[in-house]
């Protein structure tokens, strides 16, 4: 099995944490489930670059990454 590396953001705002609901999907195991925003790391990208790119693509937001969990 091929190893795929991913990044995800834990975004805090006041006393809340952002989670996103996936759209309805033909695969029941992921359909309408909740997840943190993020995605796959592309070849040659650092974790930080991948996370910034994914958040810009998915949510159209630019973030300041304070730390890694």
Are residues 17 and 4 in contact, defined by beta-carbon separation less than 8 angstroms? no
Q: Are 63 and 55 in contact (CB under 8 A)?
A: yes
**What pLDDT band is residue 2 in, cutting at 50, 70 and 90?**
confident
The kind and range of the H/E element at 43 are none
Say what the pLDDT of residue 24 is: 95
Cβ-count burial 12-24 (b if 16+ within 10 Å, e if not): eeeeeeeeeeeee
Are the C-beta atoms of 58 and 23 separated by less than 8 Å? no
pLDDT at residue 37 tops 90: yes
Mean pLDDT for the stretch of residues 4-19: 94
pLDDT at 26: 95
- Mean residue pLDDT of the chain comes to 94
62 pLDDT tier (thresholds 50, 70, 90): very high
- Residue spans per domain, the chain: 6-59
Name the class of domain 6-59. Answer: alpha beta
């Amino acid at each position: 099995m091929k190893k795929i590396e991913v990044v995800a953001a834990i975004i805090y705002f006041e006393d809340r944490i952002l989670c996103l609901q996936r759209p309805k999907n033909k695969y029941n195991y992921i359909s309408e489930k909740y997840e943190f925003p993020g995605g796959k790391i592309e070849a040659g990208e650092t974790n930080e670059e991948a996370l910034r790119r994914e958040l810009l693509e998915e949510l159209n937001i630019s973030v300041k990454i304070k730390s890694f969990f």
